[in-house]
Amino acid sequence: MTIYYNEHSKVFVSVDCIIFGFEDKKLKLLLGKRNMDPGRGEWSLYGGFVEEDESLDDAANRVLYQLTGLKDIYMKQVGAFGAVDRDPGERVISIAYCALINVKDYDKHLLEEHEVEWVNLEDMPKLYSDHNDMVKKAITLLRRRISSEPLSFNLLPDLFTLTQLQHVYEAILGEAIDKRNFRKRIKAIEYIEKTDLIDKVTSKRGAALYRFNKEAYLEDSIFKL
């Protein structure tokens, strides 16, 4: 630590991770109950304090890895939350991050270890401090970006049906989508590829399986620039 800025008060900086998943046609949120004061026993997002030797993104990635055991997760900064009285314990400024993962990629043993659970977004309880506001801002961010960025594929398995993809869109947007128009639009996107495989598990008649071609998406993005 340096000797500078001693005339200024010190504040804590934390990161809070808003982790979304998708299952059974529902957008889900990974929540747990705080095991520390203040707010012990209240529903909360999972977070942690930023260490002296790490950046904000590094701190968020560390927290996400500790909780999920997953790397290379889709993650975007949602915003800063710094109301003076947001934390009754100390002066804490929190940077919220939004992450998207496939529920089936998440080890169930970690749910028990960290005492967290998947909660349907529509059933989200009252959360600690301003965490509800963080979630609402994250949803707004997803809804703005879902038409221009391939967000949905982070919530799905590598192979998926168009029906599954539509359900993800509907879960994020919070409204029904016309099936015919949706499929027409999706089939025109070059980086969504139809495979020769058929899904006979979720579809009785057998539906074609598609995949997200990341290389094609990146090439398309570069071409647009």
What's the token pair of residue 79? 């915003």
CA 221 – CA 225 distance, rounded (Å): 6
Which one from 115, 149, 193, 219 is the annotated catalytic residue? 115
Q: Which of 174, 83, 87, 80 is nearest to 134 (CA)?
A: 80
Amino acid at 196: D
Residue with token string 């947007």: 173
Cα 202 to Cα 24, 167, 180: the distances in Å are 11, 13, 20
Report the DSSP beta bridge partners of residue 212. 192
What's the token pair of residue 33? 């109950």
Segments of 3-108 assigned E as strands: 12-23, 26-33, 43-44, 46-49, 74-81, 92-100
- Asked about 54 being catalytic, the answer comes back as no
Catalytic residues: 115
